[in-house]
Amino acid sequence: MIEKALTSADVEFVTTLHGDEQVAFHVLLQPRGEQADRLLRAIDDIALGELDEAVREGKAPEGEEALSTGERALEVSLTALRGTGADAVGRLLEDHPLDALKALVDEVGADEVIVLTDPHYVEEFFHRDWASRARHRVGVPVLKLFSHSKV
């Protein structure tokens, strides 16, 4: 589960987690503008020392604009994963990411879930981030990873 396009460092990291073992990726992307409250995002930006980003939170894509940005981010991510030789399919989510994640885990018989996002300190502190909430719902191990860099 991701919230933005994977960077090349992210792709290398997730595709090498299991060594030479054959891995298939089922990517769910929910654009950041749709899943997080602007205030929480601004607090996260301030906690990271990114004051300029906190000011720009009001300009984060929402609605249809976030969906088209999300579609591009998903395609970039899938192309990058496939470029390593991995099998990768995915879909864009508009709402209820944990319901979709649980359904996908059940549908494909996933062995684990990787949640790869930027840090969201407020949500993580209160265990309201995707990874913390997924651990109680999906029935498989959930690995929380932070994106290696901003895109």
Q: Is 37 left (phi over 0), alpha (psi -120 to 50) or beta?
A: beta
Per-residue pLDDT, 113: 97
1-16+27-47+66-87+95-150: CATH topology is Rossmann fold (3.40.50)
pTM over 0.95: no
91 close to 28: Cβ distance less than 8 angstroms: yes
The parts of the chain modelled with pLDDT lower than 50 are: 34-35, 54, 57-58, 60, 66, 151
47 close to 121: Cβ distance less than 8 angstroms: yes
Per-residue pLDDT, 44: 61
Per-residue pLDDT, 35: 46
Does an H or E element contain 115, and which?
strand 113-117
